[in-house]
Structure 1
Amino acid sequence: MSPQVRLMLLPSARCLFDEPIQVKVDGLRPRQVVTMRAKAKDERGVVFQSSAIYRADMGGAVDLQRDPALCGSYVGVEPMGLLWSMKADMPHKYFHWSLALNPHMVKFSVHDGVAEDDEEGGALAEATNERCLIADGVSRVVVKQGTFSGVLFTPPGEGPFPGVLDLCTFMSEKRASLLANKGFMVLTIAVFNDKPVNIKHLNLDYFEEAVQFLQQQPKVGGKGIGVISRSKGGDIGLSLSSFTSGVEAVVWINGCSANIGFPLHYKNREVLSVLGSNVSKLLPTPSGASIVKFAVGDPETKENQGSVVPIEKAKAHFLFVASEDDLNWDSKAFMEGMAQRLKREGKKNFETVCYPRAGHLLEPPYGPYCHAGLHGMLRAPVLWGGEPKAHIDAEVHLWKKIENFFRTRLTSKL
């Protein structure tokens, strides 16, 4: 360590997960070339890291908000580049960080010259960024009510707060806790509480109970509940708004317009069949990960009509979000099909957002970008798609749009 070199994280080394920080270094030699690094472990102990080469100014300072990376994990002026460009030491690894009470710790360091990623020690200066998922005053309560279980996050204060149901394909508290930090009461539940191989069908009643539970919370205001969902959770969110009451606003992110994976039951009968698929159309790639997109059936064909969610029956407002480079399935086509169907019915209760060059896994911003990972239903590595910079920019834009959408649609009746 060099006593004259300082690595600063501003405005504070402790922040929320979805907040940007300013990374600055001073005390270097004029025009000194340095390597900036970030390193962290996820909840499963997998190491993620990034590095980029910078040149100090004549005053011996590097400011990631101002200065371009010359080469490395990214190039150009990217203030949060060291965070979103972190990659695992092993291929096809998703960054798992789901428990809200555990802060994400990232070690930043600055090294003289062009340092190799596997070099240990030799840092001129270091600083640790504590990125919290849950803000001070937000409560976290594990809920087991009726047939469903989940985690409820409540902002500080008496409320009333807009209520949001977060449908995650597999259990994660990240998105729910970050929404609660913004003043929403959020209940997060998993679409799958068992291994998919053990599931014969899904019951919409289970998710309806969660909506009703939220409605009954004394701190929840308004008449309707918001639902946020991505991937398989997307068609569950659509189904809740179409078959049940109480849902006022739905955010659908890179989902399907039809029921996928398993038959959907409601009130002891099947209400939606399964969208057809053909695993022989999976496309293998040299990386060992497959492209799923072309194996998923077309909801517009006659044989798949029984799987299509009847969103024209819904009274909710929809925010449909699709990534053009989604390689899991054709989210853009699904979104456009739903928009056309609603227009034919004279409906205006929706808006669409499409992100060019973004991939399937749109998440709250500033986590490591994931191009490929293990598919939870196929149990094999797949490509999610997207170009890193465009994908991260989409996440930043979408996160603010989700907040505004829910605030507009869920607080108007308070």
Structure 2
Amino acid sequence: MSSQVRLRLLPSARCLFDEPVQVKVAGLRSRQVVTMRARSTDEKGVTFSSSATYRADGSGEIDLDRDPSLRGSYVGVEPMGLLWSLKADSLHKMFQKSNSLNPHVVKFSVHEEEEEGRMLAEAINERFLMGDGVSRCPVKEGNLRGVLFTPPGDGPFPAVLDLCSFPCEKRASLLANRGFMVLTVAVFNDKLANIKELHLDHFEEAVDFLKQHPKVGSKGVGVVSRSKGADIALSLASFVSGVEATVWINGCSANAAVPLFYKNRQILSPLLFDSSKIILTESGASIIKYGVSNPLAEENRGSLVPIEQTRGCFLFVAGDDDLNWDSKGYMEEMVERLKRHGKKNVQSVSYPRAGHQLEPPYGPYYPSSFHGVMGRPVMWGGEPRSHVAAEVHMWKKIQEFFRTHLSCDAAQTKAKLQTQIR
């Protein structure tokens, strides 16, 4: 490495996962062309990498907030491009980051264009999912299996239930950093072949757990969800009291895949799938969007979630290029249905050229990966730049929505504490 070249990550090389960093290089020759690289290994041991070529200015400096990439994993001014363009060597790999205890570690480096890419400087970026003072506690009560994240301090805190299709702590821990008490619960904890039905009562237990927690000050509970978790969230809002604010991301308007039961009776039939309508792409990944039955067809009306009977608020988020569901179509139908029933408690946003996997920002973008329910690699959709820009906007929108609709009552929290002491 060159002792003169310096690679800096500002404001710090240690940050939260959803925070941007400014990547700057100094000490290069005037107008020198170099390659910037990033490299990271996920929880499965798969290595992801990215690279981009930059030209220094007259002072021998490069600033990714200002300077365009000339070629590589992306082109143009992309301050966080080295992060979102991280990619595995093999096809259909999703960057696995679901455990909140360990940071997402990224190695940034600067290399000569000549001399076989001799390294000139490097820096390590530790991107934490849990900030200082946030606590993590596994929860196992009755049918409830989840992980609770609590911000530092005594509260009161607004409460959010994070519904994931499969166990994942990323979104929940990051929301806890922003002042929300978050319980994350997976829709599927068992092998899918063993799941013949789902029971809304199990998710109601999660809502009740949050409502009764002594540090929760919000009148009701918020729910955030995507994909299969999104229709469970709709059902909670429609059938369970205490759900005040629901964020639905790229899901269905109907109960998908398996029957849904509540209080020992079936409340929603499953919206079925026609595998003959799957489209196989040249990459080996499938487009499954067109195999989903129409929830508005007469024979499927029993699967449509009756959101018009809720008293809570909704934020619907859809990627226009979602190849897993017709998310935008479902969103538009639900918004129209709520308005037709006189409901004014709805917000919606659609993102052009964004795909299915809308997540907290600054993680690697992946256009395809293995689908846990379908048992095959699928295309998720989305154009990289548009998709990652949507994630940044969506993440702020979700927090604003919950802060608006989950106001805290300190007196209510104090009463809960006094009840527990007695």
- In structure 1, the partner of 2:267 is 271
Q: Which amino acid aligns with 2:146?
A: G
1:138/1:156 contact within 8 Å kept: yes
Match of 1:228 in 2: 224
Give me the whole-angstrom Cα distance separating, in 2, the residues matched to 1:28 and 1:412: 52
Residue 35 of structure 1 contacts residue 114 of structure 1 at CA under 8 Å; is this kept in 2?
Answer: no
Q: Could you tell me how far apart the structure 2 residues matched to 1:184 and 1:90 are?
A: 37
Q: Which residue in the other structure is 2:289 paired with?
A: 293
Say if 1:221 and 1:133 are closer, same or farther in 2 by CA, change over 3 A.
same
1:197 CA drift (Å): 1.4
- Listed as ranges, the matches of 1:305-316 within 5 Å are 305-316=301-312
Count of residue pairs brought into register by the alignment: 410
- Tell me, in whole angstroms, the C-alpha distance in 2 between the residues paired with 1:408 and 1:381: 38
- Checking the alignment, whether the CA contact within 8 Å between 2:219 and 2:407 is kept in structure 1 is no
CA deviation string 1:263-301 (max 9, x = no partner): 001111110001122000000000000001100011111
For 1:315 and 1:260, the matched residues in 2 are separated by 23
Provide the rounded CA distance (Å) in 1 between the counterparts of 2:340 and 2:394.
27
Counterpart for residue 84 of structure 1: 84
Residue of structure 1 equivalent to 2:413: none
Partner of 1:101: 101
Equivalent pairs: percent with the same residue? 68
**1:284-332: per-residue Cα shift (whole Å, max 9, x none)?**
0000000011000111110000000000011110000011000001000
Corresponding position: 1:377 with 2:373: yes
Change (3 A) 1:412 1:222: closer
> Could you list the per-position Cα deviations for residues 99-144 of structure 1 after superposition, in whole angstroms to 9, with x for gaps in the alignment?
11100100000001169xxx7x721000000000000000000110
Query: How many Å separate the matches in 2 of 1:191 and 1:105?
Result: 28
Residue 321 (structure 1) aligned to one of 317, 330, 334: 317
Amino acid of the structure 2 residue aligned with 1:31? R
Q: What SS class does the counterpart of residue 401 from structure 2 fall into? A: helix
Q: In the alignment, residue 99 of structure 1 is paired with which amino acid?
A: N
Equivalent residue, structure 1, for 2:185? 189
- Does structure 2 retain, via aligned residues, the 8 Å contact 1:53–1:114? no
Q: Which amino acid aligns with 1:202?
A: L
| Partner-residue secondary structure (3-state), 1:408 | helix
Task: Provide the rounded CA distance (Å) in 1 between the counterparts of 2:348 and 2:294.
Answer: 20
Q: 5 Å matches for 1:109-258?
A: 109-113=109-113, 122-258=118-254
**Distance in 1 separating the partners of 2:377 and 2:77:** 32
Structure-2 change in CA distance of 1:122 and 1:409 (3 Å): same
**Pair 190,114 (structure 1): closer, same or farther in 2 beyond 3 Å:** farther
- 2:376, 2:69 → 1: CA distance? 35
Asked if the contact 2:158–2:408 (Cα under 8 Å) also holds between the matched residues in 1, the reply is no
SS of residue paired to 2:157: coil
1:168 & 1:122 partners in 2: Cα distance?
43
Structure 2 gaps of 5+ residues are: 411-422
Separation in structure 2 between the aligned mates of residue 198 and residue 284 of structure 1, nearest angstrom: 27
Secondary structure of 1:224 counterpart: strand
Partner Cα distance (2:56, 2:220) in 1: 54
Q: Is the CA contact 2:54–2:69 (under 8 Å) kept in the aligned structure 1?
A: yes
1:412: Cα distance to partner? Answer: 6.3
Q: How far apart are residue 200 of structure 1 and its match?
A: 0.5
> 3-state SS of the aligned residue for 2:362?
coil
Further displaced range: 20-29 or 404-413? 404-413
Distance between the aligned counterparts of 1:316 and 1:181, measured in 2? 25
Q: Does 1:62 align with 2:62?
A: yes
| SS of the residue 2:218 aligns to | coil
Tell me the secondary structure at the aligned position of residue 207 of structure 2: helix
Aligned to 1:52: 52
Counterpart Cα distance in 2 of 1:162 and 1:7: 40
Query: What secondary structure sits across from 1:377 in the alignment?
Result: coil
TM-superposed CA distance for 1:148, in Å, is: 1.0
**TM-score scaled to structure 2, two decimals?**
0.96
Q: 2: CA distance between counterparts of 1:208 and 1:227? A: 11
Please provide the CA RMSD for this pair. Answer: 1.0
Q: Distance in 2 between matches of 1:222 and 1:138?
A: 19
Contact 2:221 2:245 in 1 (8 A): yes
Distance change in 2, residues 1:296/1:114 (3 Å)? farther
SS of structure 2 residue aligned to 1:197: helix
Give the Å deviation of 1:413.
5.7
Asked if the contact 1:154/1:186 (under 8 Å) is kept, the reply is yes
CA distance in 2: counterparts of 1:412 and 1:404, whole angstroms: 14
